[in-house]
Structure 1
């Protein structure tokens, strides 16, 4: 006899477990609200809790261990069930409204609780109520699928067959299980403990969790296309909403200009550097084009790695006061850089309070030290302190991976969970972009610093190397990359040379009303559509090293007539030899039509659709 608990579409209730002999097994079947995904939880013959995962009738994760290595692991007390149907309205994000719909089972064991949720686009589980060190979690994939993984500030690992993995892998782990079946493994709401790692057993399709138990959701996202993974909100939804009474109306997502990569550029006899005259030119440009902010990078308060550099009194602090005031006159906020040297050598609370009192818009925090568990605690503290002082925050230089913080803390607008395009005297290749958007970006908003229009970067102080893409791909990437602060890295003169490309960037008015990945193949290409705050639609496409023709349907549009500005690579464009050739055209379209674009090797296309 087996005890089978079926999901009840009713109000939250408690179902007491029937008293049975110790030899009897337990079984729970939990389906998604649309009945297309299914999780089975059992006690197997070896006395372990195991689960399996099916999607669209296909077994994707075979029986895999769950639980914690603790006394009372298998003493089942009762099970509670719930069905939830809500709507989340984020301060900013990929869309203005997000369905929050799932079925849940909470297994009450003697030592802790096992919480399992199934959404229409994935499943998640969490262990609650114990601080035990060892986690038994496994992902025993049902086939030798192809996978890609986060790889720090380098090109992603993969494509790699699961049986070939021979060392610890870091999430996000994106998996192709079939032509119409994709998964991604990550975590959400990492309150404490070690960030998720994945330990393969070479020659098998089994991944275990070697890190100590963390108070986090283990998440398996699911999509029938890789684009459905990109568009998912599952990671955010597994985080709590802001505390009651919180006000984040001051958070203003949008395009930001940046002083780091302008350093050394010369235009019309003016040499840009990281000081007040250059900052004013950047503020003027941002204001004229409806951009929200200017980001000041390192050394404004003195040499960034010297403990003597005082983050509230040192260096160009007087110039910073002036540029913040100047920005306020022009309606442009100013972000301030701070790294862990200054953040530790001086009282952090006082420093961030001072930045808030000065009227800064945000903080770019760099080079945090410590283990990833320690860095996660510090990241949480800094994010909360920034929120208290009405500061947005961007973490750089090996940050802890995003895990949905933007829901609880909407001021956590982006972080460098990627290889920023021209960072550290490295340049990523076109394949890097069209892989990382399907891997890294599934975790949350990322700061990739796309949008350079000086394709040779001559005269720059930092990394004066050619940009390995086309000029249209550079602009397309600014839309495709999801971030609450899209930080573009070039000087005003280079954008003003290309008014239609600048028009496309300036039209990226956030918060987005809607976003949809129209098509894409991991490592090959992606086509993204976003509806701006003013109602205009923007579409962008980017490819790897291969040229391709893409036919883009316009069915996402509402009824009516639109004027489409189409910008695409020129006939002989190539990211290696002819980066700056592009062609533009305007045409009248409706949602029953399509637009065909030609992408050069390493190229892209941009489409701005304005309703008439």
Structure 2
């Protein structure tokens, strides 16, 4: 080779070298693992304007290469990648347990226009974008196979099981995917500060879902569990929300059982007709006080017809009776919640109204029928929650609320919402299978208000919805424990509860805040067995099934080595939610953590176990 040829070749290489190096620099990647090393997230730049991630759990690829990022006119450059780890404990005011481990590994990818923050926990991963507001995000969830999935479905039975390829319309989270017998995924969001709540757009015929939501400032969350109950038990959504503002006092938040006036309306017993008025309210307060229940919820129309713009939430209707029942409740150590419809909330000064309720001494506000776009509803929900907190009011959102996304960490007064089909609501009833589906789907998002616990199984004479309850009486009691809520609102009259003292004792023993919670077993749409440890240290276990009867063996490993008296309430041999709802039996025995309890559940049935530590 001549000297001239060598010189030309050298110059050519020098010209091409920056291009080669530039192309190589674009294809950067980073791997983040969970603290226990069992979950792996890999993020890589695949082209000038594309970043993708994959998710592996227990050595199985569950989400294959899926897009990350925001739509931007700038080319993507990785300026810096920083890594950190956190190992702490969150001690909530109330929740599923008193101590919540907060362990994760974090990577921040500093791009030209914005940052991608990724956290990997032992039970899932989450990512968010910061530094750029873009109408369109590129986020995808491209599942590794055509798995079955379930979805939230408003005040109706959940969608699913549906194969991913068959989804043909936008789906709402929570989305739960069964990848294998011991592998479950949930997709949701956390800490939605602004923008549109999460939606999931399927690409029909594929396992790919994209995010059409606009301008969202939130965490995108992929949860992982080896059983569906591990998703239900997780606090991951809450952990992705900030703590309350420094110096804020939420010690006044008192979670627990609440009685309710809406469903009692029209019930007649011993010549007394229940109405939504002072005489009936006092009877409900007496029931609550006698059984250490926290509060009474007054529902719609106490200040006038709820959808009438002339109904003044400060002056109208039964305001004087409200003053009297709040005072009566204080004597009995029972708080009183007040209903507020969106019409009254928006046609009268909201801050003045909520401040007045706080000054009256109310314990909380049940807010109903909020109107607006999902984005507007989220911002209004945030505002109401904040004002309620300032006035020491707990809050429960009903009638198509914005989905929970961990607000209870920042705002412990956000104790529940009707993110489900509530029991006996809207002149329809849910089926037994609905309960054992929604507790594995909807309840992953956070606390839900389902209004279980009816003991009059026929509901004859009731004003709102005189329809038979789709359960056995033991299942109704069991559902009050299984459903996670900071306000477990039960809907029946005192006489019906007092008729079944052992089941009433099971409900009244649900003293929050919970010290621990564990889903012992269950399958989506089939059955569930839930254990919770009450504030006094006693344990309660509840089981519920779908339309199929079944026998269950319940291990008592949660008890440890101590001895307990077990009171077991289960369906009778002839019980059936269609023809014999109230048949049940009660037995007692001594148990330890080495024992099992065998129970038989009737179709649509349940079982309740109260475990009191022996002294």
On whether the aligned pair clears a TM of 0.5, the verdict is yes
Q: Does 1:516 align with 2:518?
A: yes
Alpha-carbon shift at residue 79 of structure 1 (Å): 1.1
Q: Residue 21 of structure 1 corresponds to which residue in structure 2?
A: 22
Q: Residue 382 of structure 1 corresponds to which residue in structure 2?
A: 384
Q: Residue 43 of structure 1 corresponds to which residue in structure 2?
A: 45
Flag structure 1 segments of 5+ consecutive residues without an equivalent. Answer: 1-18
Alpha-carbon shift at residue 232 of structure 1 (Å): 0.4
Q: Residue 408 of structure 2 corresponds to which residue in structure 1?
A: 406
**Does the aligned pair in 2 maintain the 1:85–1:102 contact within 8 Å?**
yes
C-alpha change, 1:73 and 1:314, in structure 2 (3 Å) is farther
Alpha-carbon shift at residue 74 of structure 1 (Å): 1.0
Alpha-carbon shift at residue 350 of structure 1 (Å): 0.1
**Does the aligned pair in 2 maintain the 1:475–1:606 contact within 8 Å?**
yes
Q: Residue 507 of structure 1 corresponds to which residue in structure 2?
A: 509
Distance in 2 (CA, whole Å) between partners of 1:389 and 1:611 is 39
How many residues align? The count is: 594
Q: Residue 153 of structure 1 corresponds to which residue in structure 2?
A: 155
Alpha-carbon shift at residue 22 of structure 1 (Å): 4.4
Q: Residue 598 of structure 2 corresponds to which residue in structure 1?
A: 596
Residue deviations 1:267-320, cap 9 Å, x none? 111000000000000001100000000000000000101111000100000000
Q: Residue 101 of structure 1 corresponds to which residue in structure 2?
A: 103
Equivalent residue runs for 1:164-563 within 5 Å: 164-563=166-565
Residue deviations 1:334-355, cap 9 Å, x none? 0000011000110000000000
**Does the aligned pair in 2 maintain the 1:167–1:199 contact within 8 Å?**
yes
Distance in 2 (CA, whole Å) between partners of 1:84 and 1:101 is 5
Secondary structure, aligned partner of 2:426: helix
Distance in 1 (CA, whole Å) between partners of 2:242 and 2:73 is 29
Distance in 1 (CA, whole Å) between partners of 2:102 and 2:169 is 36
Distance in 2 (CA, whole Å) between partners of 1:556 and 1:580 is 29
**Does the aligned pair in 2 maintain the 1:257–1:286 contact within 8 Å?**
yes
Distance in 2 (CA, whole Å) between partners of 1:560 and 1:97 is 21
**Does the aligned pair in 2 maintain the 1:67–1:73 contact within 8 Å?**
no
Secondary structure, aligned partner of 1:435: helix
Secondary structure, aligned partner of 1:505: helix
**Does the aligned pair in 2 maintain the 1:230–1:517 contact within 8 Å?**
yes
Q: Who wins on radius of gyration, i.e. which is larger?
A: 2
Alpha-carbon shift at residue 558 of structure 1 (Å): 2.6
Distance in 2 (CA, whole Å) between partners of 1:135 and 1:560 is 53
Secondary structure, aligned partner of 1:21: helix
Distance in 2 (CA, whole Å) between partners of 1:324 and 1:412 is 21
Q: Residue 5 of structure 2 corresponds to which residue in structure 1?
A: none
Secondary structure, aligned partner of 1:417: coil
Distance in 2 (CA, whole Å) between partners of 1:20 and 1:325 is 76
Alpha-carbon shift at residue 71 of structure 1 (Å): 2.7
Alpha-carbon shift at residue 375 of structure 1 (Å): 0.1
Distance in 2 (CA, whole Å) between partners of 1:242 and 1:279 is 34
Alpha-carbon shift at residue 46 of structure 1 (Å): 6.5
Secondary structure, aligned partner of 1:379: helix
**Does the aligned pair in 1 maintain the 2:48–2:75 contact within 8 Å?**
no
Secondary structure, aligned partner of 1:419: coil
Distance in 1 (CA, whole Å) between partners of 2:75 and 2:358 is 48
Alpha-carbon shift at residue 72 of structure 1 (Å): 3.1
Secondary structure, aligned partner of 1:424: coil
Alpha-carbon shift at residue 213 of structure 1 (Å): 3.1
Could you list the structure 1 runs, at least 4 aligned residues long, displaced by more than 6 angstroms after superposition. none
Distance in 1 (CA, whole Å) between partners of 2:21 and 2:357 is 62
Residue deviations 1:9-39, cap 9 Å, x none? xxxxxxxxxx962442101000000000000
**Does the aligned pair in 2 maintain the 1:71–1:111 contact within 8 Å?**
no
**Does the aligned pair in 2 maintain the 1:186–1:196 contact within 8 Å?**
yes
**Does the aligned pair in 2 maintain the 1:54–1:60 contact within 8 Å?**
yes
Alpha-carbon shift at residue 361 of structure 1 (Å): 0.0
**Does the aligned pair in 2 maintain the 1:445–1:483 contact within 8 Å?**
yes
**Does the aligned pair in 2 maintain the 1:32–1:102 contact within 8 Å?**
yes
Alpha-carbon shift at residue 425 of structure 1 (Å): 0.2
Distance in 2 (CA, whole Å) between partners of 1:301 and 1:217 is 39
**Does the aligned pair in 1 maintain the 2:49–2:75 contact within 8 Å?**
no
**Does the aligned pair in 1 maintain the 2:425–2:465 contact within 8 Å?**
yes
Flag structure 2 segments of 5+ consecutive residues without an equivalent. Answer: 1-19
Distance in 1 (CA, whole Å) between partners of 2:246 and 2:122 is 28
Distance in 1 (CA, whole Å) between partners of 2:533 and 2:146 is 38
Residue deviations 1:388-435, cap 9 Å, x none? 000000000000000000000000000000000111001000000000
TM-score (norm 2): 0.96
Alpha-carbon shift at residue 77 of structure 1 (Å): 0.9
TM-score (norm 1): 0.96
Q: Residue 117 of structure 2 corresponds to which residue in structure 1?
A: 115
